[in-house]
Structure 1
Amino acid sequence: MMSPSFTVASFNVNGIRAARRRGFDAWLADRSPDVVGLQELRCPVSEVGEFPGYTASIDVGSIPGRNGVGLLTRSEPAAVRSWALTPPKARGLGAYASHGRYIEVDLADRRMTVACLYLPKGGLPARLQRPGGMREEMDGGAKYDRKMRFLAGFARELDRNRLAAARAGREFLLIGDLNVAHTPYDVTNWRPARKMEGFLPEERDWFSSLLSPRRLIDVVRMLRGDEPGPLTWWSWAGQSFAKDVGWRVDHQLASPGLARRAEEVWVDKESSAEARLSDHAPLIVRYRE
């Protein structure tokens, strides 16, 4: 007999309205995770819709068609905190308070705080920008600089929130699209990726700084060890999805006590490119009760 367990899914839906047209509601009803973190809702709150069987805690932000995060829980949370309601205290994050990038809930049925983050994608530093060699216009490193300020501020804010959960006797779990792949096992073609946003050495160093046996643990890497994947994002273009050439930028970082209860991780990758709900696939972890 299997021990009681609960599942947590993190899913960048790349627009909840588009994902629903592609079959998100059928996926949710079929997989039925206990907690679901959503990123890039990308619509007004009036158009997010209902999620039968779940209570939805949502922060869509103030930028039309951009960002937006949510947490779906089986029971109404004991508490909900978003940057729209309680602006972040760490320096460098104030400008993002209304952008719909962070929300956390205290679960009512478990001693646990779950946070959902959609981290800015960023860009390349000025030293790596070359005319004609970029997918986006050269900006002198402005997007890169903004992301690095966000990373520095968020590390402080994350520590504050993690410790607050610990003081309340709660485990802590950060899930979401962090727009950073941490190790070479998280990127198919990792060598050229070292000069791409999302896998720059300084971004990976920042990610490493979040992790330690006493603070937060990358549950995926803990369970999978030093082996390639699982990947969670593939470009819409070309044969990236069919050939499984992609990145893992979606993560679950758990406090040590919760990490020890992690039993299994998988990515719910669709069977074909035509069946995709998003350019991301859900990252799901099963934890023992």
Structure 2
Amino acid sequence: MPPASMLRVATANVNGVRAAFRRGMGDWLAARDVDLLALQEVRASTDDLADLLGDEWSILHDPATAKGRAGVAIASRADAHIHRVELGETDHDTAGRWLEADYEVGGRIVTVVSCYVPSGEADSPKQVDKYRFLDAMSERMTQLAEHELAVVVGDLNVGHRTLDIKNWKGNVKRAGFLPEERAYFDRFMGSEDDERYNDGAGLGWVDVGRRVAGDVPGPYTWWSWRGKAFDNDSGWRIDYQLATPALADLVQAYSVDRADAYDQRWSDHAPVVVDYAIPTPEDS
């Protein structure tokens, strides 16, 4: 095997980072040996993030326009080369929902995006805003597809296939599983009817979780706090790592870090963790 730099990328919708740390997120992070940590729904200041994560992390943070809402961040063991937060038209507020950065890993540049797609609400202005965001996201992902090593991670708030939602029949008219939303993901990875789905179809992006898991239900990444959804594993797979083909081919491991019990959860989402083996330039 040629020499490679191992890169562990974790993404988590923390549902408020201060609350997540009170519930035990710090213990998870200390044990997980993460290199790049992408967060969504931060709902805190950059100073709060720095205090919680500690001095060993370099932090990029794009807070939402409205205080206490949304917010995305990327924390890393090394400084980012550049970062970008603008997405879409200037009259569309996407603050706190798209943060893009380039990192040097083993002499290679890896582009990482922490993304938080609006949840939407069927037949409402919120759904119109969601489609505007997905349009802007599609345009940028078309451009990012030209990068060799890039990954878009986060809470994308859409279940692409029936395998991604436990109770999909009861949710076909709800935001998160509307045909119009799922069509955007067909554009990213291809539809499940395409023989090249998740292997060069659409814009060519690879859904790492589905490639590793295969055609099985889940593994789910979000469960409602209410009722017995978590205990019954009645969840949704809406947290993704979407990689360019070259990066997807470097995946060594994929995990959804589901809590062992309801009372051990520190968010209503579980982290999605992927290991990538990045070859050095002379070996690629």
Within the alignment, does 1:272 sit opposite 2:261 as a pair? yes
- Structure 1 equivalent of residue 14 of structure 2: 13
Other structure's SS at 1:108 match:
strand
Distance 1:247 1:22 in 2: 22
Of 58, 63, 73, which residue of structure 2 is paired with 1:55? Answer: 58
Other structure's SS at 1:48 match:
helix
Distance 1:280 1:40 in 2: 11
Within the alignment, does 1:187 sit opposite 2:185 as a pair? no
Within the alignment, does 1:96 sit opposite 2:74 as a pair? no
Within the alignment, does 1:172 sit opposite 2:150 as a pair? yes
Query: Where does structure 1 lack aligned partners over 5 or more consecutive residues?
Result: 126-140
Amino acid at match of 2:93: Y
CA-to-partner distance for each residue in 1:127-166, whole Å, 9 max, x for gaps? xxxxxxxxxxxxxx22112211221222112222443xx2
Other structure's SS at 1:78 match:
coil
Other structure's SS at 2:104 match:
coil
- Structure 1 equivalent of residue 221 of structure 2: 232
The TM-score with structure 1 as length reference comes to 0.85
- Structure 2 equivalent of residue 45 of structure 1: 46
Of 185, 210, 223, which residue of structure 2 is paired with 1:207? Answer: 185
Within the alignment, does 1:72 sit opposite 2:75 as a pair? yes
* Structure 1 residue 3, shift from structure 2 partner: 7.3
- Structure 2 equivalent of residue 106 of structure 1: 102
Distance verdict in 2 for CA 1:241–1:75, change over 3 Å? same
Instruction: Report the more deviating stretch, 201-210 or 108-117.
Output: 108-117
Distance 2:111 2:129 in 1: 28
8 Å Cα contact 1:175/1:251 also seen in 2? yes
Runs of 4+ deviating beyond 3 Å: 1-4
Distance 2:120 2:158 in 1: 10
8 Å Cα contact 1:59/1:100 also seen in 2? yes
Other structure's SS at 1:158 match:
helix
* Structure 1 residue 54, shift from structure 2 partner: 1.8
Distance 1:232 1:162 in 2: 25
Matched residues, number: 262
The TM-score with structure 2 as length reference comes to 0.87
Distance verdict in 2 for CA 1:3–1:79, change over 3 Å? closer
* Structure 1 residue 179, shift from structure 2 partner: 0.5
8 Å Cα contact 1:24/1:277 also seen in 2? yes
Distance 1:19 1:42 in 2: 11
Distance 2:26 2:40 in 1: 16
CA-to-partner distance for each residue in 1:157-206, whole Å, 9 max, x for gaps? 2222443xx2xxx4110001000011111111111121111011111111
Distance 2:8 2:234 in 1: 26
RMSD: 1.9
